[in-house]
Amino acid sequence: MAMRLAYAIHFVADMDRAVAFYRDTLGLPLKFASPEWTEFSTGPTTLALHPASKENPAGTTHLGLHADDIAGAHKALTATGVRFTREPAPLHGITLAEFVDPEGARVSLSG
């Protein structure tokens, strides 16, 4: 059940301001930009920006893990007591699940 950190999804109040900061001030290479989703190339882990919402307030970050065998990872994690809030299902061209860590943070698992 090998997993890796694939995304750090940071929720922002102002996409243009956030893109300018990460691209122009910090110098991160812009991979893709849109009003709803922006990505920066940061090596094996992608920094993604997403508009904030009531569920995801500005300044919070959501981790996105990846497992090549998402069904196996889901089964193994469930067996250890991990509480999934979204079972693995197709979404946006990938299989996506979500669980809650011990601190209550939502974590995505893609495959």
Residue among 102, 90, 98, 85 nearest 9 (CA) = 98
Contact between 59 and 14 under an 8 Å Cβ cutoff? The reply is: no
What pLDDT does residue 42 have? 94
* pLDDT tens, position by position, 38-51: 999 999 999 999 99
> Domains plus CATH for the chain?
3-110 (3.10.180.10)
Average pLDDT over residues 89-105: 92
Residues of the chain with pLDDT > 70, as a percent, come to: 100
b/e sequence 24-44, b meaning 16+ C-beta within 10 Å: eeeebeeeeeeeeebbbeeee
- Put simply, whether the predicted model's pTM sits higher than 0.75 gets the answer yes
Contact between 73 and 1 under an 8 Å Cβ cutoff? The reply is: yes
